[in-house]
Amino acid sequence: MAVATDPLLSVKDIVVDFKTRYGIARVLDHVTLDVNSGEILGIVGESGCGKSMTALSIMGLVPDPPGKVTSGSIKIGGMELVGMQLDSLRQIRGKDIGMIFQEPMTSLNPVFTVGEQIAESVRLHENASPKAAMDRAVEMLKAVDIPEAERRARAYPHQLSGGMRQRVMIAMALACRPKVLIADEPTTALDATVQAQIFDLLQDLQEETGTAIILITHDMGAIAELADAVAVMYAGRVVEKGTVDAVLSAPQHPYTKGLITCVPHLEPDPPVERHELMEIPGVVPALTELGKGCAFAPRCGEATEKCSVEEPQLLATGDKHLTACWVAQQERAQ
């Protein structure tokens, strides 16, 4: 697995700490990710494991205070973002990296038309005339398959359906042709049929323009059908990552295995006999109370003595496949 070129976006050993009532919470703990151009990277994990925070730290939007990027580096096309001046960072946001937020209704301004909002984000980054910016807005709305784009550009967010609002968000994020698009659970509020349309749109985009996409989700199915590579997060750490084929067909971290087996998957040909679902016992630990060992140890069925004493590092356990688990690493060694 020779690294031919530098990745487009490279996140290295990012640590984000939050001050809370109960002490310091390490919300991201040495998160390392690479995204190549034209690639879709999926990030999965339970609620609160730091998926959105990873996205926010790339955007330079970690709320400070109470949060703080304590160490690490984030590079896009070789340019370091950590510690960059706010002004330059603003230029990068939207122009180099676009983001679609979790909740489309709250991230659109209800008092402007969607066309105005897209045009505004164009004008923030390029000195286009109002007319040209509006034309671009309509063009973007067409690009995300909104019917009657000229008319819809004059609509207010509440006049559009959830699926259309999410398309508007995508159009806005894409208006300045960013190299990287971060989509934070872009379809959680949408119906399955509309979700499929949005996923198609993301896939077209990646194939046609070579945009790199980070897709945050908790749906392993979406990862399987959309992503090229996947990172599984738990309690602020990446516990397993690799190509989708490798991770999904042969998961090695007990948490990943659990995530895959505890979900009842839709079968085209369901068996008559129904079995009990696998469970991951317990709940995600509070980030302020992590011990020194593996964060998953209290819930892990394969835990050994070493697990609660020493934290496993993310090491290769296969071809293009890394796992942070003592047991998996041992198996690999043998």
Partner 1 sequence: MTDATPSTKSRASGALTVEDLKVHFGGSRTLFAKGAALVHAVDGVSFSVPAGKTFGVVGESGSGKTTTALAIMRLVPITHGRVILGDTAISDLEKEELRAARRRFQIIFQDPYSSLDPRKRAGAVVREPLDLMQIGKPAERDGMVAELFGQVGLRPEQRALFPHQFSGGQRQRIGLARALSTRPDLIVCDEPVSALDVAIQAQILNLMAKLQRELGLTYLFISHDLGVVQHICDQIAVMYLGQIVEQADRISLFTNPRHPYTKALLAAVPTVHGNKRDRRSRMRLKGDPPSPINLPPGCRFASRCPMAEARCREASPPLEDRGGGHRVSCFLV
Partner 2 sequence: MAETAATEDRTGQEPLELKITHPLSEMATMFFANHAAVAGLVLLIFIILFTFLGPYIHTTDPFEMVWAPFSPPGEEGFLFGTDYLGRDILAAMMVGGQVSMAIGLAAAVISVVIGVTVGAFAGYYGGVIEEALMRFTEFFQVLPTLLFSMVIVALFGATLLTVTMAIGVVSWTAVARVTRSEFLRIRELEYVAAARSGSARDGYLIFRVILPNALPPIIVQANLMVGSAILFEAALSFLGLSDPNTMSWGQVIGSNRPYILDAGFAVAIPGFAIFFTVLAISLIGDGLNDALNPKLRQR
Ligand X SMILES: Nc1ncnc2c1ncn2[C@@H]1O[C@H](COP(=O)(O)OP(=O)(O)OP(=O)(O)O)[C@@H](O)[C@H]1O
Residues that bind partner 2 (CB under 8 A): 20-21, 47-48, 283-287, 289
Q: Is 52 in the site for Mg ion (CB under 5 A)?
A: yes
Among 300, 314, 317, 321, binds ligand SF4 (CB under 6 A): 300
State the nearest-atom distance from the C-beta of 282 to partner 2, in Å: 8
Q: Is 94 in the site for ligand SF4 (CB under 6 A)?
A: no
What radius of gyration, in Å, describes the C-alpha atoms of the chain? 21
Binding segment toward ligand SF4, per CB under 6 A, in 43-51, 84-92, 137-145, 321-329: 321-329
Q: Is 247 in the site for ligand SF4 (CB under 6 A)?
A: no
End-to-end distance of the chain based on CA atoms, in angstroms?
Answer: 21
Residues 195-234: x where in contact with partner 1 by CB under 8 A, - otherwise, as a string: xxx-xx--x--------------xxxxx-xxx-x------
Other Cβ atoms less than 10 A from the Cβ of 151: the count is: 12
Total residues in contact with ligand X, by rule CB under 6 A: 16
Helix, strand, coil distribution of the chain in percent, nearest 5: 40, 25, 40
Other Cβ atoms less than 10 A from the Cβ of 134: the count is: 20
Other Cβ atoms less than 10 A from the Cβ of 237: the count is: 25
Among 6, 64, 66, 330, binds ligand X (CB under 6 A): 66
Among 26, 29, 35, 51, binds ligand X (CB under 6 A): 51
State the nearest-atom distance from the C-beta of 277 to partner 1, in Å: 4
Q: Is 325 in the site for ligand SF4 (CB under 6 A)?
A: yes
Q: Is 329 in the site for Mg ion (CB under 5 A)?
A: no
Cα dihedral 276, 278, 281, 283, rounded to 10, equals -110
State the nearest-atom distance from the C-beta of 328 to ligand SF4, in Å: 6
CB neighbour list of residue 294: distance below 8 Å, 6 or more residues apart:
300, 303, 307, 308, 311, 312, 324, 325, 326
Among 53, 183, 222, 239, binds ligand X (CB under 6 A): 53
Q: Return the DSSP state at 310.
A: S
Provide φ and ψ at 264, rounded to 5°.
Answer: -75, 110
The item of ligand SF4, Mg ion, partner 2, none sharing an interface with residue 297, based on CB under 5 to 8 Å by kind, is ligand SF4
